[in-house]
Amino acid sequence: MTTLVASSVVRGAHQGQSHGGVYLIDLDRRQVTQTVDWNVAGIDWQGRGWDRGLRGVAFDGDVVYVAASDELFAYTPDFRCLGSWRNPFLKHCHEICRWERRLFLTSTGFDSILGFDLDRRRFSWGLNVQKEGSALRAQPFNPGLCTGPAPGNLLHINNVYCTAGGMYISGMRTGGVLIFNGREISEWASLPHGAHNAQPYRDGLLFNDTEADVVRFASPSRNCALPVPRYPEDELTHTDLGDARIARQAFGRGLCIIGDGLIAAGSSPSTIAVHDLNQPRTTLTVNLTKDIRNAIHGLALWPF
């Protein structure tokens, strides 16, 4: 049985309403189970997304880590909360990634990546990324101290992906996928404006080309683009709130690898699409809701 776990953000939700959740999606049976309904009052309700909803998802043994905008949560596989952690340099978190004994979190509001020590369960490392023209600079800092980078969202860093070759960092305004090798940072590959979930795959780059409404795999030998699912306008709900407060249809975000050539991608209204890059074609779609405000954020293969 192939099961995915997805987090969501409900853009334009009001205080007192659910503004996100966590879902388990059984792809074989096309069944969806909501495991967490996110409804907290102490968040910033401005703008479209801001502090709403739940973000990246990662695993360490039998612990499920889920990020909110400025807090990291740990759950058991049956979603009993084990604890949570905050840090003054964690703001508007998007995706997270575990590598060895650290969990790395994007801190979009500080143009930074934070490292969370999984054994000591504390924030122990930070990397502030700055770009001036074509020049890149990465400045490490300790998020456990009171000193660190000033708030800033110039690059809108929304994704981090780690391999033995380095840490891949990307965002809406990074201009490409950046790679940090532990000493210096450089551009690894070009990337369209507004992209999400960029990661090395096979001999190329896999990402949500969000502004083009496609999931794209680009390599020296292939350029494969699979369209994000769309629905007739009369099937969508909550479309009367105004563009500034809702997620548009076919906004692609959330991406994970299922198997050889099979990937899953998220979009709004909250939908999971399974794509076969070998064909290429879309083999399956599962819709969670037709509420246009409800958008997939994090997406991962469920290991339990």
CA distance 120 to 141: 18
259: tokens are 């198997």
DSSP state of 87: -
- Domain coordinates in residue numbering, the chain: 3-301
Q: How many other CB atoms are there within 10 angstroms of residue 132's CB atom?
A: 8
d(CA 45, CA 52): 7
Q: What is the pTM of this model?
A: 0.93
Residue 234: strand, helix, or coil:
helix
CA distance 295 to 293: 6
The amino acid present at 274, given as its one-letter code, is V
Q: What CATH number matches the domain at 3-301, 2.120.10.30, 3.40.50.300, 3.90.550.10, 3.90.930.60? A: 2.120.10.30
Query: What's the pLDDT score for residue 44?
Result: 44
| Residue 274 pLDDT | 98
Which token pair is 78? 């049956």
Residue 5, token pair as written in the block? 């776990």
DSSP of 216-268: EEE-SS-EEEEEPP---GGG-BS--S-GGGSPPTT----EEEEETTEEEEEET
Structure tokens at 216: 């794209």
Largest CA distance in the chain: 53
Distance CA 255, CA 272 (A): 9
Helix (H, G, I), strand (E, B) or coil at 210: helix
Identify the DSSP state of 5: E
Per-residue confidence of the chain (304 residues) as pLDDT tens digits? Answer: 699 999 998 865 455 455 578 999 999 999 999 998 876 544 343 444 455 569 999 999 999 999 999 999 999 999 999 999 999 999 999 999 999 999 999 999 999 999 999 999 999 999 999 988 889 999 999 999 878 999 999 999 999 999 999 999 999 999 899 999 999 999 999 999 999 999 999 999 999 999 999 999 999 999 999 999 999 999 999 887 665 456 789 999 999 999 989 999 999 999 999 999 999 999 999 999 999 988 999 999 999 9
The whole-angstrom separation of Cα 253 and Cα 246 is 15
Other CB atoms within 10 Å distance of the CB of residue 175: 17
Nearest partner of 103 among 158, 149, 59, judged by Cα: 59
* Cβ atoms 141, 128 nearer than 8 A: yes
SS3 212: helix
